[in-house]
Every structure is written in structure tokens, then in C-alpha cells.
Amino acid sequence: MAAKVKIGIIGCGGIANTKHLLALGRQTDRVELTAFCDLIPERAQKAAEQYGVPGAKVYTDYKELLKDSSIEAVHVLTPNRWHREMTVNALEAGKHVMCEKPMAINPAEAMDMVNAAKRTGKLLAIGYQYRQRNDALTLKRMADAGDLGDIYYARGHAVRFRGVPTWGVFTNKLEQGGGPLIDIGTHSLDLALWVMNNYKPSMVLGSVFNYLGTSLKPGEQGNRMGAWDPDTYEVEDSAFGMVKMANGATIYLEAAWALNMADCREGIITVCGTRSGATMEIAQNGDGGWRTDKQLVISSVVADTPAETRPSVATPRPDAMGPHDRECANWLDAIQTGSPLLVQPEQAYTVTRILDGIYQSNRDGKAVTFAE
């Protein structure tokens, strides 16, 4: 059996405790969590006591953590504006890096991360765990097999009626770089590009709005995650983009934390090809929450008749793990055996490039074109 991977955690807040630490905590036969860092020492200490090995170290300065030569890999789980700095420094310190999505707040910083990984020869993974869902894996397998033909149109859905995250720094422009587009729209765009296997954008046209975020006061927001402060709401509440790829394929992306629309779907895509199309469906509960059942709807023509079919999305892998655990296993496999990462940093760079293009298009009031 391969030696356990010694891992350090940088950022012990929400995403650490709801995703990464839970998944790593189920891999104790493969990992040792030996160090924890957070600006709030009590958070790092709590994580160390719950998930760390005996004697796990606690830091408030991530650079001190990086000095530990026994640590092989780190998870960067901080607000977005720190992703580039911490990731590059960790790679140059000889650590493999799992960085939570989005990769960075702009393409230049994302490319710095790509180049640092190449320069150091260390692994860089980005946390797009939605690829590891059963429906996504099934759809990707169908697309790669040619069942859809050439995919020339896709829609990325990341829309909430009222789902503004009211904890942490989600509405802080400096810390996050943006709102729902960079937070949840990034997942749907990543899924679309991955299923299409198309990473060459040529043009993007975008619109970004903040009407509800700064105008609705507590008591009239109806937010599922509690009231937000309109005086400190600095990011968009919704954003929309049309992306034209170099081969002519087109992607429409919609992202919102707050939008007056009943048809709210998040983390799913629709793709249309020359042979058939597919839509991910995630049903909502009556309270606006998401149900766990998911399915694919395939649109095609059978015996000269339009038809919709729902293929099984039972686990296309011989395991019963969920997306977070699969992402974690893929990450550890890459470190321990050299197997490929499901999410390549160059792919995550393209996601960041397009998201930034939507923001830029809105600022400039015109389409943004991409050089090769």
C-alpha cells in the first residue's frame, strides 16, 4: 500500500467543513491531515481536533505551514482573491495543490497558476466536483461515444430565485471578485465545456445586473439563506453571457443568486448535438431546496418520431461514492499513482477566461474577442 499523503489545509471555513474535510476524513487509510491554517485560530484549532492526526499543527500564517517539508499537498480553501498567491507559493514550496473553484479572479492570475504547476512539476487540481455526479459522468460518456453527434449548442443553468449566501465574504467584491457568475455559474460553464470537449472560445457577450441585491431590504428579500445587507452588497445578483467558440458552437450561460423567475435550475446543463440532445434535470422541493434525485432527458428522433428517453444514471463507476468523495479519490490517485486528474488546470483557466470576458463585456458595453 502506498504511503499516506500528508496534507495541510489552508482555510478552515465553510467549504472546508462542508466538502473537503468530510471527504478527506473518509480517506484516513490514505491521508494524514497534519496541519491547519486559518486567520481565525479557533477555526483552525477546531478542524485540527476533529480531523487532524495527533499533534497536528495549527497556523494563522499559511507561509509558515508551507515551510513544513513533510507536507506533500495542500488544499487552498480561501476567498477567491487569495487563490493565485497561495497556490503559486505552495507549488513553489514543493507541494501539490487542490484549489477550490473558481480557479482565480481573472485569467492572468489563473495562468500564473498553470505556469507554476508546469514549472514545478507539481499537481494542480481545481474543485469542480460537479463533474463527478452520476448524471454528469453518464452524459460525458455518451458525448464521448458520439451518441449526441457534434455538440453545437449548450446552456448552462445556475439560477436561484432567492439564494444569496449570507455568510462569509460572498458579497464582498474584493475578496471574491464577483457574485453568482463566478460562484455558481462557474460550475455550469465547466460542465458545458467538459461535455462538449471544447476549450477554444472566440467571443463573448455579457450582461451583469445588481438590481435586487442593493435595493431589497431585510423583510422584503425572501431569501432562503437569511437576510443580506443591501448596503454591503457589492457584487452582481445575476449575470448572463453568450459564448461563441472558435468552431462556431455557442454556449448560453445564466447565473443568479436572486432573480424573479420560477424556472430556477442550478448546476446543470442542456446540450444539443447533430444526433440528439440532453438536459440534466434536478427537481426542486416545495421549499425551494434541491432534491437529490437527478436524471438525464435525451431528445432524439426514433423511427421518424420525436422521442424523449431517460437513461439510467446509476453509478457508471464501480463505487457508491458521492461527488465530493470521487473528487477526493481522483486527487489522491493522481498523487499516489500518477493517474490523470479529471480536471486539468488548463481547462479551469478557460472557464476563468470566459467568466472574465462576461464581466469585461458588461463593463465595456460590447463583445469581447479572444486571441488564440
Asked if the bond preceding 230 is cis, omega within 30° of 0, the reply is no
C-alpha cell belonging to residue 180: 453568482
Closest to 297 in 3D by CA, of 310, 313, 314: 310
Question: Which residues are CB-neighbours of 227 under 8 A, at least 6 positions away?
Answer: 166, 218, 219, 221
Give the Cα separation of 289 and 163 in Å (integer): 9
Q: Structural domains in the chain?
A: 5-130+323-343 (3.40.50.720), 132-322+351-369 (3.30.360.10)
Give the Cα separation of 103 and 115 in Å (integer): 13
Give the Cα separation of 181 and 196 in Å (integer): 20
Give the Cα separation of 75 and 127 in Å (integer): 10
CA distances from 272 to 64, 127, 134 (A): 49, 26, 20
Q: Are strands 151-159 and 266-273 parallel, antiparallel or unpaired?
A: antiparallel
C-alpha cell belonging to residue 16: 472546508
DSSP H/E element including 293: strand 290-302
Give the Cα separation of 166 and 172 in Å (integer): 11
Model confidence, pTM: 0.94
Please report the DSSP string for 295-329 in residue order.
EEEEEEEETTEEEEE----S-SSSS---HHHHHHH
Q: What are the φ/ψ torsions at residue 238 (nearest 5 degrees)? A: -160, 155
Q: How many Å from the N-terminal Cα to the C-terminal Cα in the chain? A: 44
Q: In the prediction, which pLDDT does 128 show?
A: 97
The ranges of the chain with pLDDT < 50 are: 283-292
Bridge-partner residues for 127, per DSSP?
100
Residue 139 is given by DSSP the state: H
- Which tens digits make up the pLDDT trace of 21-52? 999 999 999 999 999 999 999 999 999 999 99
Q: Is 180:256 a contact under the CB 8 Å cutoff?
A: yes
Give the Cα separation of 120 and 96 in Å (integer): 9
3-state class percentages of the chain: helix first, strand second, coil last, to nearest 5: 35, 25, 35
Closest to 240 in 3D by CA, of 223, 254, 226, 227: 254
Q: In the prediction, which pLDDT does 321 show?
A: 77
